[in-house]
Structure 1
Amino acid sequence: MSVGSDQVYPPYDYLEGGVTKGFDADVMAVLAPKLGVKVQFMDTRFASLIPGLQANRFDMIASALYVTPARAKVVDYIAYAKTGGSLMVRSDDTFDPKKPGDLCGKRVANLKGAAWVPELQKVSQAECGSNPIDVKEFATSAEAAQALLSRGADVVFDDAGVSKAAVVASGDRLKITSTEILFPVVMGLAVKKGNDELLARLKEAFEPLKNSDEYKAILAKYNLALPTDAEVTAALIESN
């Protein structure tokens, strides 16, 4: 089975010695035997994952893909974890943002195609007036962090787990300033809309796995949790 994955997105997806590592690799390692398949990861930049799935370049996506109403129009999801965002600045900066409303007038680096970009734009329109948030998108989280380090951005908004890993990778030249998870989100494995056979197989394999001690250990390893049915439903509702 071919699996689309953005392998420059630690701790969820990354390469180590030519081998795919991270949360999604761990998930597929326990899911694949239940499906009776061997997994081949296809390294694909985040913004190209859904187009690649639609073009049949791979069978499914396992890449910390956030569940959104817009994406649910073209893919079918199996919710498998929940996370959220963090704000990150340079350690030598006095700027200390805690929430999206603190970003008015700031250059905010983001992963291109990230689910929270439209949310930041909504905050900008609602709260910032003539001093809007300057949303800058990058192909990878590493590039967004580098833009911050090189002073091409004032702050990075990224997944909480990714931000934590970036702080470590930077040698503490970066720091997380937000004190709570921002825009909590549900993540899902995704298959092409209409691929009902594969969707049914994945659901059948994942259902008994999700409440197992083995899967709980994987979630705990990455500081994640299993979303509730209510959270999954809420993630699929269009907001105004």
Structure 2
Amino acid sequence: MSFLRQFAFTAALGAALLFGPVATASAEDALARVKSSGELKVGTETAFAPFDFIDAGAHVGLNVDLFDEIGKEMGVKITWVALPWEGVLPGLEAGKFDMVAGPATITKARMARYRFLPPIGDATDALLKRKDDKSVEKPADIAGKTVGAGKASSQLAQLQAYVATLPGKVTIREYVGNNEAYADLAAGRIVAVANSLTNIAFVAKQRSDTFEVVQPAFGPKSYFGYIAPKDAEHASLTDAAQAAILKIKADGRLAALQKKWFGASFDTPDAVPEPNL
């Protein structure tokens, strides 16, 4: 459900105005409020497997399992608020929830406006294609063709930057949900979908008779992280969530969840790195 996802200032600010002003000042800080209510509200989309998706009517994925562990560490229950991705960051701006699962690709623009929790996955951008399509064997083969990516995502922004370097014009279709993009890919309406390597590897594994990942990835090395507001009111809450994630990582629970959802665990830095994007 983010890049990865590139934060567009004009779109997010405009949508934030529709939601209302950023929620900041209150009589108690965010951690005290969450502890008092016993509830941590988390915004996300539910079409970004294996992080967040709907399976047999249930919301499942690495985010669900990981936030369950975060909730245990913090002594609160997790309440999910699901929105299309383009509404998630404006929803955070409007105070509709306390943080964003997503996860979102860590970018310079986002770090300037939000605070990220420690990375929990690889967000490097790559291409998914139909397994029987021999016209796309490497990323540059999309020149002159039509490809898809998630609307308002970092993966879309990376794809736009990449195709600008190719000799033939590439038509890009923007999708509100990844499932729609994958359906168009399977139907032959587009030749590839750009998304994070972790996401498309999961899709290719689930539908190995239909899809495969184009090697190598075309995007710069990047990571996924959870987003929180960057203000004094939310600092204590974000500190507590960060401490929970680092504990979950240190005792092996994060690696176990990665193996469950990706088939393998992978290294991520404890601190948010300087983004390449």
Q: Same-fold call, TM > 0.5?
A: yes
**1:1-240 paired onto structure 2 within 5 Å:** 1-83=40-122, 84-99=124-139, 101-125=140-164, 127-129=165-167, 131-170=168-207, 172-180=209-217, 182-194=219-231, 195-221=234-260, 222=262, 223-228=264-269, 232-235=272-275
Partner Cα separation in structure 1 for residue 104 and residue 55 of structure 2: 21
Deviations 1:107-156 (A, max 9, x none): 1111112213222222232x224x23222210111111112122221211
Cα 1:55–1:92 change in 2 (3 A) is same
SS in 2 for 1:210: helix
Kept after mapping to 2: 8 A contact 1:110/1:138: yes
Identical residues among aligned pairs (%) = 21
Partner Cα separation in structure 2 for residue 36 and residue 220 of structure 1: 25
Kept after mapping to 2: 8 A contact 1:88/1:178: no
Per-residue deviation at 1:201?
1.7
Per-residue deviation at 1:204?
2.6
Kept after mapping to 2: 8 A contact 1:10/1:165: yes
Deviations 1:175-207 (A, max 9, x none): 223245743321111112212122122123223
Q: Which amino acid aligns with 1:91?
A: K
Kept after mapping to 2: 8 A contact 1:12/1:22: yes
SS in 2 for 1:28: helix
Kept after mapping to 2: 8 A contact 1:62/1:190: yes
Of residues 58-67 and 178-187 in structure 1, the stretch that sits farther from structure 2 once superposed is: 178-187
Kept after mapping to 1: 8 A contact 2:126/2:218: yes
Of residues 24-33 and 190-199 in structure 1, the stretch that sits farther from structure 2 once superposed is: 190-199
Cα 1:165–1:205 change in 2 (3 A) is closer
Kept after mapping to 1: 8 A contact 2:42/2:80: yes
Q: Which amino acid aligns with 2:117?
A: I
Of residues 175-184 and 140-149 in structure 1, the stretch that sits farther from structure 2 once superposed is: 175-184
Kept after mapping to 1: 8 A contact 2:114/2:227: yes
SS in 1 for 2:259: helix
Deviations 1:9-43 (A, max 9, x none): 21110123443211101111111111111001111
SS in 1 for 2:127: strand
TM-score, structure 1 normalization:
0.86
Per-residue deviation at 1:210?
1.9
Cα 1:90–1:17 change in 2 (3 A) is closer
Listed as ranges, the gaps of 5+ residues in structure 2 are 1-39
Q: Which amino acid aligns with 2:190?
A: A
Kept after mapping to 2: 8 A contact 1:160/1:181: no
TM-score, structure 2 normalization:
0.76
Partner Cα separation in structure 2 for residue 81 and residue 20 of structure 1: 19
Kept after mapping to 2: 8 A contact 1:89/1:156: yes
SS in 2 for 1:11: coil
Listed as ranges, the gaps of 5+ residues in structure 1 are none
Partner Cα separation in structure 2 for residue 173 and residue 180 of structure 1: 19
SS in 2 for 1:142: helix
